[in-house]
Amino acid sequence: MIIDTHIHLDDKRYDDDLDDVLNRARKAGVKRFIIPGADPLTLHRAVEIAELYDDVYFAIGVHPYDMQSFENLDFLRKYVEKFVHHEKCVAIGECGLDYFRLEGSDEEKAQQKKKQKEIFTEQINLAKKYKKPLIIHIRDASRDSKSILLDNNAGEVGGVLHCYNADEELLSLAKNGFYFGIGGVLTFKNAKKLVNVLKKIPQEKLLIETDGPYLTPTPHRGERNEPLYTTLVVDKISEILDTKLTDIKEISTQNAMRLFNIS
């Protein structure tokens, strides 16, 4: 079995055929789905889906791209408080730092970074308060993200990191209770860096994710991504690590169950 630990099922690109999307995946062995919180405007949809299907869970959090609605940290606290006690809520996130799309003058960029850090730190505090693991999005911001995680003792609750930049610098976080989510990027022709990093991730810290509808694996690039395609990612991991497919599935499933406290 496979657990898709990061799939935006609340995205409107799944509205028309969500049942089919889930059934195709289930038939191929994908048996649990976790929707990361990202955009507060679609969270109600994530909760609705998690209530509709036994095998779907959600997380509550704010993606660094969607932080405009959370200028006020008190509002963020109330927002998390409102959903975190739901029985299908398994994590805080996706939260983190993303410096890839910063805009404006240097001063404005510095301002945006500061705001991102503030909101990220607050979500770490909330994760510790409610004893939930973190789903962490890091892009072009490895060093800052790492120091925020360590300075705030985020290892107390642990979490999963997107391997966006496949950054070796983040690997040492494995010993602080952090896991690494591997997705479709691994199948890309130019994924050399991630292929090398993958070999250095302790297997007991390996998780599988689609990040659908984005980052569709080869040979479906350009199409909408969906949980079924985690099978392609698992195939690729098995090939690269020269480890049996069933072992990769078993280990990554146990890892996901342990981190998110699901069965």
Residues lying near Zn ion in the complex (CB under 5 A): 137, 162, 211
CB of 124 to Zn ion, least distance (A): 16
Which residues touch 253 (CB under 8 Å, ≥6 apart)? 1, 2, 3
Helix axes 106-130, 142-151, angle to 10 degrees: 40
Q: By C-beta, is 64 or 158 nearer to Zn ion?
A: 64
Query: How far apart, in Å, do the first and last CA atoms of the chain sit?
Result: 12
Q: Which residue is nearest to Zn ion (CB)?
A: 137
Q: By C-beta, is 225 or 231 nearer to Zn ion?
A: 225
CB of 11 to Zn ion, least distance (A): 10
Phi-psi label, residue 104: left if phi above 0, alpha if psi -120 to 50, beta otherwise: left
Which residues touch 24 (CB under 8 Å, ≥6 apart)? 226, 227, 228
Residue 221 is classified by DSSP as T
CB of 222 to Zn ion, least distance (A): 19
Q: By C-beta, is 27 or 102 nearer to Zn ion?
A: 102
CB of 94 to Zn ion, least distance (A): 5
Q: By C-beta, is 193 or 238 nearer to Zn ion?
A: 193
CB of 162 to Zn ion, least distance (A): 5
Q: Whole-angstrom Cα distance, residue 60 to residue 80?
A: 6
Q: Contact at 8 Å (CB) between 15 and 48?
A: no
Q: By C-beta, is 158 or 184 nearer to Zn ion?
A: 184
